Structure 1
Amino acid sequence: MTDAPFSFELLPGAAHSPVILHVPHAARSVPPEVRAGLVLDDAELARELDHITDAHTDQIAEAAAGRARVTPWRFVNRLSRLVVDPERFPDEREEMAAVGMGAVYTRTTHRAVLRAAGTDPGPLVERYFQPYARAMTEAVADRLAATGRAVIVDVHSYPSEPLPYELHGTGPRPPVCLGTDAFHTPPELLAAARAAFAGCGGTGLDSPFSGTYVPLEFYRRVAEVGALMVEIRRDTYLTEPGGPAGPGLSRLAASLAALVDTVSG
């Protein structure tokens, strides 16, 4: 299979910006050839997309980029994570594979069957996952070459009540969860995020989701690549599970822009 050139988009920022706002889970689009491999009917698929999609996070990132003094770069997934999840490991290292949510999902958020047993993930990984990973690696390398550092800020959302697929859903669910990595999240980046989102109802650390996304070429190898995951509780800005955005979106965008400004120096 050939690469999928329209499955993601790199939106340029300022030449001297080290920041990449990464938006991996905002889209609902499922190409027909992928849709054919899902066992859900149309109504079931629509419900699953409501639950699994980080709705409007692309709008939050876009608004934040427009507000920031130094425009960040944006890397946006234009396909649903039901096609592939670009933030999963494509092998046995992936913890979420235990609930059928590795790089290619086989189960839904409610642990129902999504793809038939024995489905080969290889073609989807080759067509969608690998080109995405290469492009994101190149985007980070470009920021390193241009500015001497790169800062990946992952923009996500999560439901106010845990879904059955969550492996760590019993912990706190703050308005904004900050996911960190011991190697890639320096104290000053975490402090900047806490300050930026202080007016959004409060922040928490690594609960209910933890970790950050860093392309494997740099992961735990290049300290000049910083990373932070911003998980926004959905009831703070939309009608759950996946309804329209409310006034909270503008407030969150302003906070994200403040973080970008601090990180950009």
Structure 2
Amino acid sequence: MTEAPPSFSVLPGAAGSPVILHVPHSAREIPADVRAGIVLDDGALEREVDHITDAHTAEIAEAAAERASVTPWRFVNRLSRLVVDPERFPDEREEMLAVGMGAVYTRTTHREVLRAEDVDPEPLLARYFRPYARAMTEAVAERLAVAGRAVVIDVHSYPTERLPYELHGDGPRPPVCLGTDAFHTSPELLAAAREAFAGIGETELDSPFGGTYVPLEYYGKEPRVSALMVEIRRDTYMTEPGGPAGAGLNRLASALARLVDAVSH
């Protein structure tokens, strides 16, 4: 299968900005040839997309970039995570394989069949996953070369009520969850995030989702790459599932902009 045109956008920020706002799960689009491999009917697929999409997070990142005094770079996935999930490992290291939600999902958020269990993931990995990973690696490399450091801030959201696929969803579900990594999340970055989101409500670490996204080339190796995952509970800014955004979007964008400014300087 030939490589597809880019399924993502790299949106430039200020030349000296170290910050990349990474938005991997905001899109709903599924190409027709990929849709053909999904067993859900149209109605069921639409409901699944409602549940699985981090709706409006691209808009939150865009509004935050406009408000920030130093414009961050943005790396935005333009396809649904039901095509591939760019933040999963494509092999046995990924614990989400246990619920059929590795790099190529075979199960839904409610653990129903999405694709055949024996589907060959390689065509989707080659066409979408690896080009995305390469481009993200290059984006981080450029920030290191130009700014001397890179700060990857993942922008996600999560449902108010736990969905059946969640492996670690029995803990707190705060307005803002901060996902961390022992190597890439410094105390200073964490403190800046807590201060930036203080006006939104309580924050918790790694509950109900934990970890960060760092390209594998740098993961656990390059201390100049910092990372934080920002998980926003959806009822703080939108109607669930899959509904419109409300006034909370602007408050969250302002909070994210404060975080961007804090780590940019």
TM class by shorter chain equals over 0.9
Q: Read off the aligned partner of 1:235 and give its amino acid letter.
A: D
Aligned-pair CA distance for 1:6: 3.3
Instruction: Specify the alignment match of 2:41 in structure 1.
Output: 41
* CA distances 1:25-81 after superposition (whole Å, capped 9, x unpaired): 000000000000000000000000000000000000000000000000000000000
Matched, 1:102 2:96: no
**Alpha-carbon distance between aligned partners in 1 of 2:120 and 2:202, rounded to the nearest angstrom:** 42
**Alpha-carbon distance between aligned partners in 1 of 2:202 and 2:262, rounded to the nearest angstrom:** 19
Q: Read off the aligned partner of 2:155 and give its amino acid letter.
A: V
**Alpha-carbon distance between aligned partners in 1 of 2:236 and 2:82, rounded to the nearest angstrom:** 24
Structure 2: which 5+ residue stretches go unaligned? none
Q: Read off the aligned partner of 2:197 and give its amino acid letter.
A: F
Q: Read off the aligned partner of 1:117 and give its amino acid letter.
A: E
Structure 1: which 5+ residue stretches go unaligned? none
Q: Read off the aligned partner of 1:101 and give its amino acid letter.
A: M
Q: Read off the aligned partner of 1:2 and give its amino acid letter.
A: T
**Alpha-carbon distance between aligned partners in 1 of 2:156 and 2:4, rounded to the nearest angstrom:** 23
Instruction: Specify the alignment match of 2:243 in structure 1.
Output: 243
Instruction: Specify the alignment match of 2:262 in structure 1.
Output: 262
Instruction: Specify the alignment match of 2:160 in structure 1.
Output: 160
Matched, 1:18 2:18: yes
Instruction: Specify the alignment match of 1:116 in structure 2.
Output: 116
Instruction: Specify the alignment match of 2:189 in structure 1.
Output: 189
Aligned-pair CA distance for 1:116: 1.4
Q: Alignment length, in residue pairs?
A: 265
The secondary structure found in structure 2 opposite 1:125 is: helix
Instruction: Specify the alignment match of 2:149 in structure 1.
Output: 149
**Alpha-carbon distance between aligned partners in 1 of 2:259 and 2:214, rounded to the nearest angstrom:** 19
Q: Read off the aligned partner of 1:43 and give its amino acid letter.
A: G
Q: Read off the aligned partner of 2:52 and give its amino acid letter.
A: I
Tell me how large the CA RMSD over aligned residues is: 0.5
Once the two structures are superposed, the pairs formed by residues 40-79 of structure 1 within 5 Å of their partners are 40-79=40-79
The secondary structure found in structure 1 opposite 2:199 is: helix
Instruction: Specify the alignment match of 2:208 in structure 1.
Output: 208
Aligned-pair CA distance for 1:3: 2.4
**Alpha-carbon distance between aligned partners in 1 of 2:6 and 2:242, rounded to the nearest angstrom:** 24
Q: Read off the aligned partner of 1:84 and give its amino acid letter.
A: V
Aligned-pair CA distance for 1:2: 2.5
Q: Read off the aligned partner of 1:100 and give its amino acid letter.
A: G
**Alpha-carbon distance between aligned partners in 2 of 1:10 and 1:2, rounded to the nearest angstrom:** 22
**Alpha-carbon distance between aligned partners in 1 of 2:100 and 2:117, rounded to the nearest angstrom:** 11
* CA distances 1:177-232 after superposition (whole Å, capped 9, x unpaired): 00000000000000000000000012111000000000000000001000000000
**Alpha-carbon distance between aligned partners in 2 of 1:104 and 1:255, rounded to the nearest angstrom:** 33
The secondary structure found in structure 2 opposite 1:50 is: helix
* CA distances 1:89-124 after superposition (whole Å, capped 9, x unpaired): 011100100000000000000000000131100100
Q: Read off the aligned partner of 1:7 and give its amino acid letter.
A: S
Instruction: Specify the alignment match of 1:32 in structure 2.
Output: 32
